[in-house]
Amino acid sequence: MPPSLKIPAPCKINLHLRVGKRRADGYHDLESLFAATDFGDTLEFEVLKSSGVCEILTDWQVPSTRLPERSPPPRDFPVSPEENIVYKAVSLFRARTGFDRGLRVRLEKRVPLGGGLGGGSSDAAAALTALNKLADTGLGGEDLRKMALNLGSDVPFFLSGGAALVSGRGENIEPLPVPSGLSVLLVNPGFPSPTGLSFRRLDRWRTQREGSGGLPGPDLSRTRLISALAEGRPEAWPYVNDFLPLFLDGQGEEAGAYRRLISSLREAGADFTGLSGAGSTCFGVFKDRKTAEKASETLLKAWNLVYLTFFLASLTISVLK
Ligand code: C5P
């Protein structure tokens, strides 16, 4: 059994996200295009001689934001170990497999929390993948997917990564070819957008609008969604995110930040701009790398959390020791 394993936990963006009505179980059916990027966290798992313990050491690498009213996160992860999704993934894996060796997890945290980039979900999927290898349990994809969904709606996607059309609550995953040669600029506005809260806001907003003339957004066929991705022309992508009109609406500080961010990305030459997940990170997709690099420099003058990356084809695990 290898005593140590280092594994990347890439983040994702949602190129397209349509949200259906609230279901009886409280979740919403989605239709979404997920794409993993090269930007993300890294986890290193070390198996200890003792049994039972799970130590999580977090190296916090998310820069502080410039919004004055929000204090920067402390260097230590601001979540108690038991609430950390990696800890939950380890506990679930132990319960399902009987694996009881002690573990030390080093988590290099780069992806902002509550940013719609799936950082925590990717950490959880990476943990399941790493444990399955370290413990040599040989769990199949179906077992891992069930555990993943138990941990969160976005977690199953991260077991395979790449690009995919995701539907249901997040459990139906149809892999798609990853667009190549495109640059992706992620810009987080410096405030989180808690997922559950954003879904509830969307429900309320829609109820108000239904009374005054219906819901926004085009209905795109699955075929059109998939073929647009394969064409590799982001300037012609017909994709939308149902949360964006909600977040752009209104006079508040956050709506202003979203408006400034999206227009700065457009002015900087992005071929496509969008919002990831239920917020708060916005992104631009660029065909030309030089334009993307210049845009990155320009946006860094006004925003603190700016990451230039690209779509990631597949996940790799490297055994260190
Ligand atoms: O599954 P996860 O824990 O990430 O979801 C967080 C919250 O987001 C849920 O409690 C639910 O309110 C909302 N959600 C939803 N529909 C989804 C995914 C999440 O309503 N498909």
Q: What is the pLDDT of residues 127-177, one digit of tens each?
A: 999 999 999 998 999 999 999 999 999 999 999 999 999 999 999 999 999
Helix (H, G, I), strand (E, B) or coil at 109: strand
Which letter does DSSP use for residue 176 in this model?
Answer: E
> Known catalytic residue: 12?
yes
Q: Report the nearest-CA residue for atom 6 of ligand 1.
A: 196
Find the helix packing angle between 253-267 and 289-300, rounded to 10°: 150
Q: Please report whether residue 318 resides in a domain.
A: no
Q: 85 pLDDT exceeds 90?
A: yes
Helix (H, G, I), strand (E, B) or coil at 104: strand
Percent of the chain past pLDDT 70, that is, above it, reads 89
User: Is the CB of 27 within 6 Å of ligand 1?
Assistant: yes
Report the b/e string of 44-77 with b at 16+ CB within 10 A: bbbbeeeeeebebebebebeebeeeeeeebeeeb
Q: Same domain, yes or no, for 122 and 208?
A: no
Residue span of the structural domain in which 194 resides: 183-310
Position 319 scores a pLDDT of 41
Q: Same domain, yes or no, for 209 and 83?
A: no
How far is the C-alpha of 227 from the C-alpha of 209, rounded, in Å? 32
Q: 104 pLDDT exceeds 80?
A: yes
Q: Please report whether residue 23 resides in a domain.
A: yes
Q: What is the pLDDT of residues 249-266, one digit of tens each?
A: 988 999 999 999 999 999
Q: Same domain, yes or no, for 170 and 189?
A: no
User: Is the CB of 279 within 6 Å of ligand 1?
Assistant: no
Q: Same domain, yes or no, for 85 and 211?
A: no
The stretch 189-203 carries a mean pLDDT of 96
Q: What is the pLDDT of residues 276-296, one digit of tens each?
A: 999 999 999 999 999 999 999
Q: Same domain, yes or no, for 234 and 128?
A: no
The pick from 12, 21, 147, 195 for probing ligand 1's pocket by mutation, whose C-beta has the most ligand atoms within 8 angstroms, reads: 195
Contact between residue 153 and residue 170 where contact means Cβ atoms under 8 Å apart: yes
Q: Same domain, yes or no, for 159 and 199?
A: no
How far is the C-alpha of 122 from the C-alpha of 177, rounded, in Å? 20
Q: 66 pLDDT exceeds 90?
A: no
If one counts the domains in the chain, the total is 2
User: Is the CB of 30 within 6 Å of ligand 1?
Assistant: yes
Q: Please report whether residue 139 resides in a domain.
A: yes
Q: 71 pLDDT exceeds 60?
A: no
What the block records as the tokens of 269 is 């030459």
Q: What is the pLDDT of residues 41-55, one digit of tens each?
A: 999 999 999 998 999
Q: Same domain, yes or no, for 156 and 86?
A: yes
Q: Same domain, yes or no, for 113 and 219?
A: no
Kindly report the pTM of this predicted structure: 0.93
User: Is the CB of 168 within 6 Å of ligand 1?
Assistant: no
Q: Which of 6, 109, 123, 154 is catalytic?
A: 154
Q: Same domain, yes or no, for 160 and 282?
A: no
Of 158, 176, 194, which one is at a domain's C-terminal end? 176
How far is the C-alpha of 40 from the C-alpha of 305, rounded, in Å? 13
Of residues 273, 220, 272, 208, the one with CA closest to residue 246: 208
Distance 120 CA to ligand 1 centre (A): 13
Of residues 97, 1, 3, the one with CA closest to residue 45: 3
Position 37 scores a pLDDT of 98
Residues 6+ apart with CB under 8 A from 213: none
User: Is the CB of 309 within 6 Å of ligand 1?
Assistant: no
Ranges of H-type helices in the chain: 85-97, 119-134, 141-151, 155-160, 195-211, 222-231, 243-248, 253-267, 289-300
Q: Please report whether residue 197 resides in a domain.
A: yes
pLDDT class of 219 with cuts at 50, 70, 90: confident
Contact between residue 125 and residue 158 where contact means Cβ atoms under 8 Å apart: yes
Q: Report the nearest-CA residue for atom 3 of ligand 1.
A: 152
Which letter does DSSP use for residue 311 in this model?
Answer: B
